Amino acid sequence: MKKLLFFALFAVAGSAHASTYYVSDCGTGAAAQCVAGNDANAGTSATEPWKSCAKVTQRFPTLAAGDQVLFARGSAVPACQLYYLSNFNSRKDNPITLGAYTPPWASGIMANPILLGT
């Protein structure tokens, strides 16, 4: 029983450390009410997101397995070049994922984020 309890606590503790990072910029094609983030932000709050893909590229190698990077719906991120992302922490059973979130400034249904890049 003690071994099972320890394993259950370890499994929960391991997944509890995953972080979510938020990105929002208001480039060409963004919603009128878009609010850009700031790369000086921690990026761990939807109300204080990062601004650029450059920040994502800079931080990506240090992300932990299970972390997420979410781009604001209704935003448009210019010069977004994410093809050099590399991270040795990501695992098949616990990957680092990219996705979208509905930002606090959104009203109604927002379009998926636009990632503008070469």
Model pLDDT, residue 16: 53
Residue among 99, 28, 82, 89 at smallest CA distance from 63: 89
Tokens of 31: 């919603």
Residue 31 scores a pLDDT above 50: yes
Model pLDDT, residue 73: 98
| Distance separating alpha carbons of residues 110 and 94, to the nearest angstrom | 29
What are the pLDDT digits (tens) for 41-90? 999 999 999 999 999 999 999 999 999 999 999 999 999 988 888 899 99
Contacts of 115 (CB under 8 A, 6+ apart): 53, 71, 77, 80, 82
